Structure 1
Amino acid sequence: MTNMDTFTALALQITCHGVNQASDRQEARSLMQKTIHRLGQQIAASLAFIGADCRLIVLPEYFLTGFPMGESLSAWAEKACIEMDGVEYETLGKIAQKQSIFLAGNAYELDPNFPGLYFQTCFVIDPSGNIVLRYRRLNSMFAPTPHDVWDKYLDCYGWEGVFPVAKTAIGNLAAIASDEILFPEVARCLALRGAELFIHPTSEVYSGERSPKDSAKIARAVENMAYLVSTNTAGIVNTAIPSASANGGSKIIDYRGLILSETGSGESMATFAEIDLAALRRYRRRPGLKNLLSRQRLDLYIETYRQSRVYPVNTMLNQNVDCQHFRQTQQETIERLSEQRII
């Protein structure tokens, strides 16, 4: 595919079908394949409506499986996590190939370098069917992250594997997972590596009122002068939680913080908009007050970050833990920050 200055992006808001009630790995895999089959039909129909210039489709957070609800780390890994070269990626790659699109999403993924753990992974598949971006969520309340096994993770993947940016025919793509939109450092690190468009798979409460996450989405786009495509779930079914708890509000925001497209609740392909990379690049190279990237004085903040220790590193590197580990570590962190009179 030749480089494109303009194209259409789609935040495809679909229902998440949880696998929590599946009896075993085989049944869970069958449910995932049904989701992918249904997704293939929805993508084809959406493209027929939107037009041939739609080149990026972003799916919601954990669209294949839902999220763990009381399952142990080992049980969720066995039931709901996919392999890095698994059949699920292969099948999604065939959809991307057939439709000549970049297909982005989020899944729980196993990594042979870290047996017994899994990572919540944002991915981008290119029109040839290959994975060109694999970003592991760095801030999570209840799932392992690279930070929890930091030393070994850096040995395996280096800094480029921690903050990856894919240079593609539709610009420099990066991913931010779910409520990481509330952590400005993640987006800034990606922007400083050249990211022009943030992919944001999420599953969050939507009420029509501007939420902290919605405010953060606009802020991340403005302060990094980048597009943001945020796709929410259209509800989560086959779990114990009310199905519409995380339903609606997918949106596309431009580098000025303008909401180009937004939709309400339910399954929808209505959130699509033109991405104008040429305009973005002109904006980034124009001197003035609004050129926030060029005005960053990062040296001002280095010592504060270097001297500060909040959430501890490597807490899962050399030990087996259960789900209580996450709450316990956070509680200990809060107590330490209180003792230091930070909070």
Structure 2
Amino acid sequence: MPDKLEQQWLDTQEHWDRNVDKLYAQLEKIENSKKTITDDIRNFMGSFLTGQLTSKRSLIKELDQLSEVKLHSLSPSHREEQIAKIEEVAKNVLNRATRLTKEQDKAVQQLQWKNKQATLNNKVQLAMKEKQKAEQAVSDNEVEFNKEKKEQTSLLIDGWLDFLDKALLADQEELIDLNCDDIIKWVNIQNNKQNSAKNKIINNEDIKNDDLKSIRRLVSNYQQKLSFISKENKKLNDASVNAKAHLERTERDIDKHGVFSAKERDTQSAFDKLLGIDKSENANMQFDLPKEDPPQVGKLFSKGQQRYLLIKYQKELEQGKMDCKRLNAKLVIAKDELNG
């Protein structure tokens, strides 16, 4: 029956071939994952993806070479070289996946940063427009206030002069040149006098109630008009102050947003999803080689505790003897086959 050493080397070669196939599959999965990257993220990965094209071709070339390796036919030193090479390729495949997940995460962060910056810029622009609109409203209201005040002042002064013409007060000459504030004070004095026990005015002349009511209405209308515009003006001024404060806050948000700087984040879950393997599996590929090298010629058999090396050709004879000595086997020559 075939010696167990033959099976050990067959198992070792199958293990080698499976690992090469696994690396091919991992590399293909990495490349396929790139196809799912959206254009907006890809825009931030241009130089990285271009660089990966060259490294991909190099890895494919190395895997093609490793796929041709037959471990049993190599010298021990050459065998160790090939094992070191496949371990290095496995490490490079892992690094490729790791870099891809990190670069993709970095691009996602950069896209998020850019979108937030655009949002903040829009907020600043809107805040600037609101501030300008509020300031313009204050300015327009100021013009309207002055216009309305001038108009109401004119109405009050004209009404006051009409009142004096009808009232014919003793100190009329002194009262003709009163301004609006003084007119209001005078009317307030008259109101207080009417509320007192004696409703007499200067020179002991009574002012007719109809005339006094008329000037009261003018004063009341004057005060109401100006009070309304003053309140409106305050409201608009407050709005202007708030708009300015809002603009300052949005500008501080822009400053706080700053320049883009990628953060180191845990991308292990993305890596696992990409390759579906444990990193340690690739980082430390195990090749438990048989303790003995296989014979370089012939076929090794065993019966009980005895090994036999079967050869067929004359040219295998000398090497067969050396293999038998090394493997503690007896040389068997196939009948009628030792010809060439």
Q: TM-score, normalised by structure 2?
A: 0.18
Larger strand percent: 1
Between structure 1 and structure 2, the one with the greater Rg is 2
Which structure carries more helix by proportion?
A: 2
User: TM-score with structure 1 length normalisation?
Assistant: 0.18
